[in-house]
Structure 1
């Protein structure tokens, strides 16, 4: 797929553009010559922390996804455009914080998605694709009575695909599943060319340091211990630039009304992931190897932790040719390097001090 010709001068609208994945997507869209409109939350300072370096190449719309008026006003600026692609990445995306801020999580992720979809319909925009970003957390744990409904790899492990049953175990996961269904509802009811994408645990530069990869790295850079919660769960971790490529492939070559899941295609326990990060950082001279300490206070509430996630991304690969390109070791090294050289971007945001 030639992304350069497909996206040159193409009008695109990105929600959550200043977030982790959104900023990388926005940066890539600018590089590809798209006509990029971004929707970011209005703040008193008006800061764009992750995409400030791109502002001369963007049309910035400030508002709040929870406020239908501001969403509609931003989208109205695209009335005279055709072939618009909408990337909907804005969300309250932290699983742990969804328990601390359940109302905000549901309001942003569910009502915010509804505001976006309804505004597109009300304005009768000429869109060619609306990509709502979901999450692997929607699958949750495999229920015993649903075991036979899951695909399995040659080694017997459950492979999560577009056909797999869902079982959300957090406020965040439930809100994202609701957003997925709303997106499909608007395809079925209004013929809106929507798709949903479930990404499996993106990591990389600019990620909030409260997520697992960031908290490991920032602690290792600053002290002799790394305090973590439950290290038994397994995750399928995909480098953010591969995640961005997934969004682009789905938006340009995916079929409307369909869902696409993607990730690295292999999983690893959080204990082994921690050790891999610490090994890579030690080998590259970022730190002397810290000690790993488990803290029960960092566990998720009750039985809400998801035990194992592993993706089967065959559908996306067969339809668009997408596959991951960045190895865990390379992705980890790039991520450590960013945290090591951008202390001001994360120092006041960690949850371990």
Structure 2
């Protein structure tokens, strides 16, 4: 049995990853390390934590003493680092927090792994390590910067971050590569496009729009909504990470994309139409609407769920125009491909949010509401 340290697994992608791993494998034990900041919700994974195959430790990846203690106690074979401050808007408001967590936290994990796994030195003086260990860094396509109307990011695209968030993730990637080159630490990196799916915190575009419709609020869209993102269903991403850790070469970097490019305004309009259509066929979902006006037939009115809800707000500072991932390398070398097209994935995501509205309400407490008002009020 291999033992994994999975950091940030009470967050969106990390939570989906441990659910995927526990369901797929009987020979994996997972220790979750999460600080439970605003976007980390223990309720997302409480049913997965059985204190046998999955354990939870609340703590900070920057805490050297704690991280080293966990390595000594559990003798990890694999580290998967999801832990990060990840929302661009928040990085503009508080850049220092992103640098501290995403850069120094990553270095702390790498150093603990190097010290715990080193077995000696080879003839050239490089460290040698336990067989089969791997440190994996979960990164982002935002490290590449912005694209024009054509072309795609490849693993050879120069890194050119434009926000404090993407700069901190770029720095973390460089540190991972430095530990690979300097200490020959077995590492891998995946750089993914925008994820969507179950358990996503409602500050992100897709769950924010879904939640706002249910709340009867306006739908804020930056600028003219023409910014383009490549969308990747979260379970497909989890499968890619698993493949890279199990089959990828030491030191490898892979881009993971969904081949689902859409303008932000297209995403918003698709969500509006899909929610309207679902509620037209399934009236029981209308009870979730905060706006409970009734029509002549006695049913809750949904005619107001239309594009008139859209409101264009002042654009984000340094807003990248387009991201597009070329996943050819991971397809050719490991056989991974995105299985979920956007048309299927967005319906699954919307239905999940409707069917698990108690989860959405639990993570949309006063702190989130305060953040939302501060972020969009007056724009």
> Above 0.5 in TM-score?
yes
Q: Which residue of 2 aligns with 1:184?
A: 177
Q: Which residue of 1 aligns with 2:63?
A: 67
> Does residue 106 of the first structure (1) align with residue 99 of the second (2)?
yes
Q: Which residue of 321, 328, 337 corresponds with 2:335?
A: 321
> Does residue 270 of the first structure (1) align with residue 264 of the second (2)?
yes
The structural deviation recorded for 1:66 is: 1.7
The structural deviation recorded for 1:309 is: 0.8
Q: Distance in 2 between matches of 1:60 and 1:226?
A: 36
The structural deviation recorded for 1:224 is: 6.0
Q: Which residue of 2 aligns with 1:345?
A: 359
The structural deviation recorded for 1:296 is: 2.4
Q: Which residue of 1 aligns with 2:316?
A: 300
The structural deviation recorded for 1:78 is: 2.7
Q: Distance in 2 between matches of 1:171 and 1:225?
A: 28
Q: Which residue of 2 aligns with 1:243?
A: 237
Tell me the alpha carbon deviations over residues 314-352 of structure 1, each in whole angstroms, 9 at most, x when there is no partner.
000011110011121221122112222333333323555
Number of matched residues?
325
Q: Distance in 2 between matches of 1:54 and 1:87?
A: 17
Q: Distance in 2 between matches of 1:296 and 1:99?
A: 16
| Other structure's SS at 1:36 match | strand
C-alpha contact (below 8 Å) 1:242/1:324 kept by paired residues:
yes
Tell me the alpha carbon deviations over residues 54-77 of structure 1, each in whole angstroms, 9 at most, x when there is no partner.
111412222211211111112222
Q: 1:163 to 1:62 in 2, by over 3 A?
A: same
Q: Which residue of 1 aligns with 2:160?
A: 167
| Other structure's SS at 2:316 match | coil
Q: Which residue of 2 aligns with 1:336?
A: 350
Q: Distance in 1 between matches of 2:36 and 2:252?
A: 32
> Does residue 78 of the first structure (1) align with residue 74 of the second (2)?
yes
Q: Distance in 2 between matches of 1:24 and 1:30?
A: 10
Q: TM-score, normalised by structure 1?
A: 0.86
The structural deviation recorded for 1:280 is: 1.9
Q: TM-score, normalised by structure 2?
A: 0.81
Q: Which residue of 2 aligns with 1:3?
A: none
Q: Distance in 2 between matches of 1:240 and 1:53?
A: 19
Q: Distance in 1 between matches of 2:90 and 2:345?
A: 26
Greater shift after overlay, 28-37 or 164-173?
A: 28-37
C-alpha contact (below 8 Å) 1:227/1:352 kept by paired residues:
no
Q: Distance in 2 between matches of 1:19 and 1:52?
A: 12
| Other structure's SS at 2:275 match | helix
C-alpha contact (below 8 Å) 1:236/1:266 kept by paired residues:
yes
The structural deviation recorded for 1:42 is: 6.3
